[in-house]
Structure formats: structure tokens, C-alpha cells
Amino acid sequence: MKAGQHFDPNKTSTFMAEKTSVRTLLAMAAANQWPVQYMEITAAYLYESHDPKFPVYVRQHPRFDSSMKHAHRAGQLLGNLYGGRSAGHRYTSGLQKHLRLHGYLQCDSDPCLFTSVKANSRLLVTVSMDDFLVTASHQHLIDDLLATLQKKYTIKNLGFPTTYLGWQITRDAQGSIHVSQQQAIDTILQKHNMAECNPKTTPAPQKPNKATLNETAPVSPTLASHSRSILEDLSQQPTQANWHQLKWLLRYLKGTKAQTISYHASSPVCLQTYSDADYANAKSRKSLTGIFHTMGHSPIAWTSTPQDVVALSTCEAEYIAASHAAQQKIWLRRLLQDMQHPQKHPTPIFIDNESTIQIAENSAPTRRRKLIDVRHHHLQHHIQSANIATEHIPTVHNPADLFTEALGPIRFKELCQIIQPNGTRSPDPRAHPSSTSARTPQRPPGLTDRNSLHQMLKGAPVMDRKDRLSALQSVTRGT
């Protein structure tokens, strides 16, 4: 809390870093060959105390007073306990104050990201509840952070983060970092009796099934980016067709659970963005936006979402998508600025529509431009300010197409290779010195046949309506 600021007992917020910030930190660590360390505070909430201006009372346990003379009395709670309404906020405020007091800067782009710059040395740390993911240009900076936290808290130094936020993280002998979510996928498959199902090579059948899109699975942009969001939109009142699509998606997860996002050593720390739109949903008539961001040619953020308004043309739909991409790109530039790695040149947004690029780069009034809401024209402002540059990319090479429609196996595989050109399988078991474990890579089986839906469902387990709803919720939550 700032000086003079009163504590509000109704606040319940706590630290939870953006997953994009965590991916960016890992990409930065791999690119610069920095060490990565995982720390955890033991019983984090218990280190704070209650403000006496906002007292909290608790009843005594019936057996606390054997005579039962004071059973009607209550005691004032002095410490911070788990389960309290404002317990998380008290812990967050105390940690924030402690880090600031010792010279760590809280970033504006993500309040859960702290930095420290000393001479030519840098430290980055993301905070998620009581978990700290730390990287630095020199090991002594990490040791200094550990010593700072130990002045107030009991800290577990867990070394290299083999597991973090449900992700499995490994580092190979070259220093590249690989992130997967195999355990979460196995849990979903086991829960819904699909562990022995036959895998699929795409997350959805190749047909024009255009429904609402949402953000994809927490780790891999190829993990059901389009299908998962469709199921999320339809999970309230699922039909038999939706259930068939869910089982296809689970089979795809079975075949790709060993895939990883790889952040390669010595890769350039530069941003690139790909934007695409699928015009006119058959039901709502709203277009679908797909956006894909990379740093050092590896994924750090992606979005698949319906547009707020009904576009009047393909060009307008692409322009709205590019506008949303620009909003996210500006935030990513601020994030890298806070990480002490500013982008010195305009960062490109690749668009596969020439008319959209002409409107974005030309501020002269035109008939098409007049039909677009003024809120989307901030794209032109950032182009003129040299923060963003638009570039054309052929549709066949635009990976954002993955986030707007269901693709066939050949096209889907081609775009996945663009996203991760060096392959996305689990890394070699020869671990990096800072890593304590590594998995043996296994190439998951895949099907290339185009069997009918009836053949796809043959042998699938039978579930009642309650089980189907549970399975839909497991996938759409992105466990």
C-alpha cells in the first residue's frame, strides 16, 4: 500500500502473474542463457497481521474452556489466516511493500512482475500467489533476492522449475527451454475414460463449423485453439454433435500431449504478430479474430475471439482483427520495456489482406474507412508513431489461420511447422546443468485417414449427460 492509503477490508485481490508474462520470462531466459529458479513461500498468508481498525472476531472452540463459563465469548483475530476475505490482499500488500523497500521495481504492464537493475545486471521475477519464477543475468542477483525474501518469510528454494503452474518445464543441453502440459492432458483423459482412445491429427473435423472463439489452452497454441472455444460457447446446452466434437478434441490431445513450446537459446528478442479474421459467422454474423504473437520465433501469446460488431466486409473484419492485434502488441512492447529490453524498431503485424494494409497506412478519408468505428483507428496512430508496422503475408503462410477455422490435416500440419519450425516434441533427455529432470521423448501416434464420424466414434465409451457436461467443462477450463 502507498503511504497514507487506508486498507480496505473488502479487497480480495492477490498476485497472479499473466501467463504471457511467464512465457516471455522463459523466452528471455533461454535467449540470453540465463539461469532460472523457482522459489516458494511457506504458509505465505500467516506473515501478515490484521489492521486493528477493522477487527475480526472468531468464536472459541467448545472445548477451549472446559468449564464452559466463557463459551459465549469471541476472540479478536490478530494474525492473517487462510480463508479470510481479505487474507490474500493483506499478503499481497505486505509482499509488495517488502520488495519495494529493498529496491525491486513493480512493473506497470504486469503488477505481478518485479525487476531489479544493477549496473549491467538484470533480474526478472514473476509472482503467482506464493510462487516465484526468477531469472537473472547473474546468479548472485537471484541469491540476493532469496536473501531479501528470507528476511521476512520462510522460503523453499526449489531450483529449476520442473513443474510450474501446471506446466512441465525442461531445459536441454543447449540451454533451450521446453514447456508442455502432458500431465494435465493425461488427467483429463483418465477422468473421462479416454486414456486408451485412438489419437487424431487435427483438433476438429474439417468442415465449416464456425462458432464463438475464445482463448486456447494455457500452454500450446496448437492445442485445440479453435475447437476448445467452440465447445466453451456450447457447453451450457451441449448437443450430441457437440459431444462428438469433444471426443474428437480429446483424441487430438491424446496424440499431441508430448508436444512442447520451445524457447531456443540465443534466439533474437524481437516481437512479431500475425493477424487473421474469418468473416461472418453463420449464426451471429460476427467475424472471428485470430491473433498470434511470437518472440524469437516462439509463441508467447495467442487469441481466438469473436468480434464485438458485425463487419460489413472481409476487409473490415481483417482491419478490426489487426486493431485488436495492435492493442496486444503495444502491451507486449511495454512488457519488454519493463523487462529492460525495449523494442528499438517498429514491430510488425503480418496481415494477409492488402486492402486492410492500405486502409491502415492511409489516413485519407475513404468510403470503406468511414464505415469502421473510430475506436479501431488507433492502429493508424501507432503506425504513424512508428510503434507498429504492417506487412503483407500470403494466406498460406499465416499461422493466425489456425485460430479462425477448422483445418484439414495437411494444412494444419503446415501451419504448426511455421509456429515451431524446429519441431515441438519433448527434448533430448540430456538435461541442461540447471535442470534436475528431463523426460524421454516419445513420438505420439497419429492418424492420417479420413474416416467417417461413425468410424471415429466406434468403440468410444458411453457416458450419461452429467459425464458429458463434466468433460466439456474440463476442456473449456483449459485445466
Q: What pLDDT was estimated at residue 119?
A: 82
AA identity, residue 279: Y
CA distances from 132 to 16, 184, 367, 455, 458 (A): 10, 21, 52, 47, 46
pLDDT, average across residues 198-216? 58
- Sketch out the chain's domains with CATH numbers: 19-165 (3.30.70), 183-208+218-256 (no CATH), 260-419 (3.30.420.10)
pLDDT value for 477: 52
Cα–Cα–Cα angle for 151, 153, 154, rounded to 5 degrees: 110
User: In the chain, what is the straight-line distance between the N-terminal and C-terminal CA atoms, in Å?
Assistant: 33
AA identity, residue 416: C
Do 275 and 376 meet the contact criterion of CB atoms below 8 Å apart? no
Strands 347-351, 298-306: parallel, antiparallel or unpaired by DSSP? unpaired
Compute how many other C-beta atoms are within 10 angstroms of the C-beta atom of residue 47: 18
The CA distance from 132 to 38, in Å, is: 6
pLDDT band at 166 (very low <50, low <70, confident <90, very high): confident
Q: What is the pLDDT of residue 409?
A: 87
More reliable by pLDDT, 448 or 126: 126
Which carries the bigger pLDDT value, residue 104 or residue 206?
A: 104
Q: In the numeric block, which cell numbers belong to residue 371?
A: 464505415
pLDDT mean over 438-456? 34
Cα–Cα distance for residue pair 382/413, rounded to 1 Å: 34
Report whether pLDDT(274) > 90.
Answer: yes
Give the three-class secondary structure for 224.
Answer: coil
CB 287 within 8 A of CB 307: yes
Give the predicted TM-score (pTM) of the model: 0.79
- Measured CA to CA, the distance from residue 218 to residue 180 in angstroms comes to 10
